[in-house]
Structure 1
């Protein structure tokens, strides 16, 4: 029985060594898989961040273009109505950012007792009959101060 116990002990030792080797291999494989997963996750996060940045830039660009179009349209209507109603005072010039031209129109209006109001009336009609894009390009981008 002693021989049997020795063989049994050897078998247990051999089984334990095989189990230890299997566990070691499994741990190594798990470690490699975890490393691969971490690399894949880093790449996915990097790609996501890049896509998010591109999307944000596109959104910002579109928002800026929309704001420019809307602000151009609002200035068109405001400048047109002010030019028709108060053209002799040159208020519409100030709204469009033409301070020097607004002061010139105001001075001419004071000197001619309001006759410069005809210029304002004409400009108001011109402003309101232009398309939004044409108005924006002509008076806000191109900075055309008169007519």
Structure 2
């Protein structure tokens, strides 16, 4: 019985380690989610990796959308606020991924999970 539990824990640890690289890469804005999406396909797909790919992809789309909207205006305070907001969310996601946790990003994470549920 003890050997079975040990083998099961080793299997979970191996799956977690495989998904951890994908999870961390997914928070590199713009190109990261695309790389992580290709890493998390086929036999290598893990639920942990998929969770963070959805979060990273949503964060990148939010970054691009806000950037395009704010580029029409010359308001430095709004641009700086957007950068701070995206940076904080990205660092939070990176922190949770490196700790092996599947915590959604504050404010937007649950929306990203629902919107990208097929990934």
TM-score of the superposed pair, with normalisation by structure 2:
0.42
Greater per-residue helix proportion: 1
Greater relative contact order, per chain length (Cα 8 Å cut-off, separation 6+): 2
TM-score of the superposed pair, with normalisation by structure 1:
0.36
Say which one has the larger Rg. Answer: 1
